[in-house]
Amino acid sequence: MAKTRKSSLTPVVGMNRKQRRNLRRQLSSVDPGLEIVNRDAAGIDVGNQSHYVAVPPDRDAMAVQEFGCWTADLERLCEWLKACRIETVVMQATGVYWIPLYDQLRQHGFSVAVVNAQYTKNVPGRKTDVQEAQWLMKLHTYGLLRASFQLEGEMEKVRTLWRLRARHVQEASRAVQHMQKALTKMNVQLANVISDLSGVSGQAIIRAILEGQRDPMRLAALKHERVQASLEEVAQSLEGNWREDLLFELRQAVDHYQFAHQQMRECDVQLQGYLDNLPARTLEQPGEAALEAPKKARQSKPRGNAPDFDLRSCLRRIAVWT
């Protein structure tokens, strides 16, 4: 059995410190002895206020130029790359500063590789933004960088909204903790008898407290029948001091919680629209056509932080059944 020849081009991510140092010396030499993979390559050092762009020395008298971050500057950057006959561009995923530049380059037809900054930052000898851009260009020219996966079209919109929704879920969780803290300051030990303050019982009791109800037995009577604690135990936990400043703090926490859920519901509307626009997948492999889709589940009110639409049906349509 013939042996497969191993490529001499090892991605930078797989190198140790000594290998990186040797690679730096090799690329700095007149003849690096490496095969050129991307001949029309440029490297961009992404920044907050400006971007440094490096192209091969034979493409322009000033092979490294600085461009601002305004849209007009990005347009000039793309036009300059076209004039330099550049086809592929590499940049580091620096914060979120790379995203507008990435979109602009893709709109102008460039092939863009976004790489993890961890792959290149430890290579010695790079002291300035100019050298950073040149180093990225050299690594990309010889195919030594591994591009990160980038979503396209509607899936990018779905990921953006899911991440935004996840932040709202975290905010709601912090608001529940804030409610518990305010109640504890008043010595209202509701969290010790009800496991979830954001549930039906917890929210009903808290709303009644904010509306002025102070009778422990009447408050305890609002608990759901599934709560394991007895009526007397819940009533005892609701005997506290009703300081005006702490009640105000509790109201603020509840408002924060409700606003976070309102934001989640608005995200759900957008997400459902994006998911409905995704194409359905058709099963064509032998035997798979015989599979039957499970019966449609009965619609029920979403629980907790669950999406306010039938997410399972959307995913089934996109990924399995048409």
Q: How far apart are CA 146 and CA 9, in angstroms?
A: 11
Residues in the chain: 322
Q: How far apart are CA 55 and CA 58, in angstroms?
A: 8
Q: How far apart are CA 157 and CA 43, in angstroms?
A: 27
SS3 147: coil
Confidence (pTM): 0.72
Place of tokens 């400006």: 50
Q: Which two tokens stand for residue 77?
A: 């950057």
Amino acid found at 176:
V
Amino acid 6: pLDDT: 39
Q: Among 8-12, 95-99, 168-172, which range has the highest average pLDDT?
A: 168-172
Nearest to 91 by CA among 56, 136, 127, 134: 136
pLDDT at 163 over 70: yes
Beta strands in 61-205 (DSSP E): 64-68, 88-92, 111-115
- Work out the average pLDDT over 178-194: 94
In which band, very low, low, confident or very high, does the pLDDT at 149 lie, cut at 50, 70 and 90? confident
SS3 64: strand
Query: What's the mean per-residue pLDDT of the chain?
Result: 84
Amino acid 217: pLDDT: 94
What would the pLDDT profile of 214-271 be if each residue is shown by its tens digit? 999 999 999 998 889 999 999 999 998 999 999 999 999 999 999 999 999 999 999 9
Distances (CA, A) of 21 to 18, 53, 92, 122: 5, 24, 20, 9
Which of 75-89, 92-106, 253-267 comes out lowest in average pLDDT?
92-106
In which band, very low, low, confident or very high, does the pLDDT at 2 lie, cut at 50, 70 and 90? very low
Q: Cβ-count burial of 62 within 10 angstroms (0-12 exposed, 13-18 middle, 19+ buried)?
A: exposed
Tell me whether strands 50-54 and 41-45 are parallel, antiparallel or unpaired: antiparallel
Q: How far apart are CA 51 and CA 73, in angstroms?
A: 10
Q: How far apart are CA 198 and CA 207, in angstroms?
A: 11
Q: Among 22-31, 77-86, 124-133, 279-288, which range has the highest average pLDDT?
A: 77-86
